[in-house]
Structure 1
């Protein structure tokens, strides 16, 4: 049965210090969104893609992806919304509406263009875990820093109240994979807060957790790091150079 990938690319990229949306910022000559879409397709585990874009750029992104030989799956671009949660919901609706047999889509991946180097192997690992019976799957990497829980202090000097056991902590990445019906139910249950940035979910696994449904973790990877700052972009470029 088909797997749909929703690729979020509607972020502004203001922290990158660029004058264009983050997904269109180039990494070694190619936009971030194109790197991510190529790797989703190269996995062989994705049957169609929906990309959420900033306002007014859906046609541009759709044409760019359709013209790229590395994006060899049906792809549609739709405008995102004010929050990540709302953008994913819009992409999910569009992807299921567009499917030749929408009811047959059984696995949905939600991925971020801001993680452009997530490998095809990681995509396959997440999809395989969902198909093995885990309704919600996220990739995660062990936390290596010592983590302290603090009491906030407006003066800028915070008091430590606990050193957290880092052996049970994971830094979560994307793509995240879900049973389609479960993801639809999670978004429907949280739709009342998807327009408020302070209340909306920062990842889709959080919506599933809010339902009381278990989320499972598979091994993530260092190259799936998120690009947020100009320094992150330089590190990603170095990663590609080293890979070559």
Structure 2
């Protein structure tokens, strides 16, 4: 077998553009959550994870380097667990006490990979678009030493002055024509910005507020590309709430195929000392008869969810002839149906059930059932309804021979080309 030569430096692929994500801040203005803002969840996903996915979506980004706080490694590992990116994600490095120190730590870590260009981006800007990223990269490829995304200032600006008594008044109206609101990414030739940060660190220039300011301090010219109003920085607790609301609305809007289905189930009584209803055990002088635990509520909800997907019924997936399901807990059936919805990138919008029986009394157990159903299906409690009625002593339920349950489920699914065939 012929020998295989190791790749030489000349034969290795060149790292053209790397993204450096600054995620070492404490985010104190974002409120007293259980984690810094870059690890807080918006729209079901940590902010930093969304930022990494957004950067990776741009074909021009070859690698990403994240800078984190020394105390945040467990948070970071949880944030990126199972994350699949199009580009390389380098191991994180620990930042410093200031943003400048953190950026320098990240640049030094990238030095071993020698990228031609670097885009420096705030972890708390998860809505950066591919268009903004590509415009920044294209400007660097055209020969610019530094370029930042920015927006014209549209608000009227007033300069305030203290009147000496602690009150502020307007001293002048500022001309906004030449002003721009800076965003990230801020892109640079890698060697240029690394040298600028190294010099600023040596010379004690530590009050520069962004990387463009560092480059300017070092004598470089920094140009603009068009930013995007959506590319907001999450700073305050209100920003987190607004971001979560925006993503939730977008997520639900993307699932415009709204389906509702209903189902019905019944089980007879047999000797026993409790019934399973809505996933909870209720003491009673009889039990419900069935191959599984005979939870009539969960069975009806399972059938309703499966029906929204046109995916058979509980007997199709869990045949009573199969001994594997003998005395099985019915929460497994409902969890299965909920997972089938999620596997279609769907969301459960509402679950409703009506229990028909004379006994046991459902009222004292209603909220426990709602909570258990919500837990099984991984939906908010506000999306689960449990009701009960009697049949006025009529029929088999009226005679106390068993319990019936009616259920309905509403789900939202993305539109599929197959649905229009």
TM-score, L = length of structure 2: 0.53
Pair 238,142 (structure 1): closer, same or farther in 2 beyond 3 Å = farther
Q: Does structure 2 conserve the Cα–Cα contact (< 8 Å) formed by 1:110 and 1:177?
A: yes
CA distance in 1 between partners of 2:239 and 2:219 (Å): 34
SS in 2 for 1:138: strand
* Matching residue of 1:77: 92
Pair 84,193 (structure 1): closer, same or farther in 2 beyond 3 Å = farther
Aligned residues: 236
* Matching residue of 1:138: 148
- TM-aligned CA deviation for residue 93 of structure 1: 0.6
SS in 2 for 1:237: helix
SS in 2 for 1:36: helix
* Matching residue of 2:219: 212
Q: Which runs of 5+ in 1 are unaligned?
A: none
* Matching residue of 2:193: 183
CA distance in 1 between partners of 2:129 and 2:120 (Å): 14
* Larger Cα-atom Rg: 2
Please show how residues 233-244 of structure 1 align to structure 2 within 5 Å: 233-243=240-250, 244=254
SS in 1 for 2:230: helix
- TM-aligned CA deviation for residue 51 of structure 1: 0.6
- TM-aligned CA deviation for residue 67 of structure 1: 2.5
CA distance in 2 between partners of 1:51 and 1:153 (Å): 45
Q: Does structure 2 conserve the Cα–Cα contact (< 8 Å) formed by 1:148 and 1:164?
A: yes
Q: Does structure 1 conserve the Cα–Cα contact (< 8 Å) formed by 2:43 and 2:243?
A: no
* Matching residue of 1:231: 238
Q: Which runs of 5+ in 2 are unaligned?
A: 1-13, 255-421
CA distance in 2 between partners of 1:152 and 1:131 (Å): 47
- TM-aligned CA deviation for residue 219 of structure 1: 0.6
* Matching residue of 1:123: 133
Q: Does structure 2 conserve the Cα–Cα contact (< 8 Å) formed by 1:16 and 1:22?
A: yes
* Matching residue of 1:13: 27
Q: Does structure 1 conserve the Cα–Cα contact (< 8 Å) formed by 2:48 and 2:79?
A: no
Considering Cα pairs closer than 8 Å and 6+ residues apart, tell me whether 1 or 2 has the greater RCO.
1
Please show how residues 17-96 of structure 1 align to structure 2 within 5 Å: 17=31, 18-58=33-73, 61-62=76-77, 64-65=79-80, 67-70=82-85, 72-96=87-111
Q: Does structure 2 conserve the Cα–Cα contact (< 8 Å) formed by 1:140 and 1:170?
A: yes
Higher share of residues assigned helix: 1
- TM-aligned CA deviation for residue 71 of structure 1: 5.5
SS in 1 for 2:91: strand
Deviations 1:57-114 (A, max 9, x none): 23652574362124642322111110000000001111222x2xx2xx1101100011
- TM-aligned CA deviation for residue 27 of structure 1: 1.0
- TM-aligned CA deviation for residue 119 of structure 1: 1.1
Pair 108,161 (structure 1): closer, same or farther in 2 beyond 3 Å = same
CA distance in 2 between partners of 1:179 and 1:52 (Å): 19
- TM-aligned CA deviation for residue 144 of structure 1: 1.5
Q: Does structure 1 conserve the Cα–Cα contact (< 8 Å) formed by 2:47 and 2:124?
A: yes
* Matching residue of 2:157: 147
TM-score, L = length of structure 1: 0.89
SS in 2 for 1:213: coil
CA distance in 2 between partners of 1:30 and 1:215 (Å): 34
Q: Does structure 1 conserve the Cα–Cα contact (< 8 Å) formed by 2:64 and 2:87?
A: no
